[in-house]
Amino acid sequence: MRLDEIQRGGFFQVKNLDCCNECVQRLMSMGLLPDQEIRLVHEAPLGDPIAVEFNGCQISLRLRDAAHVEVEAIR
């Protein structure tokens, strides 16, 4: 599943990242790497953007950028 498809309240593990996407490259420089735990903490009223948390940081992402991150549910 992709990061733009996750539901609030679950914990997910990053499986794959599209390194060609500029936004994903910035996320990787902040520590979002394969096997990293991530969770959805907030959605804007219309669903875009979303806020995710990893490494103790909350980052806001557009859905089109979140679609470049593959995740798997872990809890």
Q: Which among 42, 34, 36 is positioned nearest to 59, based on CA atoms? A: 42
pLDDT digits (tens, 9 = 90+) for 10-65: 899 999 998 887 888 888 888 899 999 999 999 999 889 999 999 899 999 999 99
Count structural domains, the chain: 1
Rounded to two decimals, what is the model's pTM?
0.85
Sheet containing 12-17: give its strands across. 57-61, 50-54, 37-43, 12-17, 69-73
- The Cα–Cα gap between 58 and 44 comes to 14
The pLDDT-based confidence of 66 (bands split at 50, 70, 90) is very high
| CATH number of the domain encompassing residue 64 | 2.30.30.90
Residue 72, pLDDT above cutoff 90:
yes
Residue 46 three-state SS: coil
Tell me the CB-side half-sphere exposure of residue 42, using CA atoms within 13 A. Answer: 10
Question: So what's the pLDDT on residue 22?
Answer: 85
Structural domain that includes position 60: 3-73
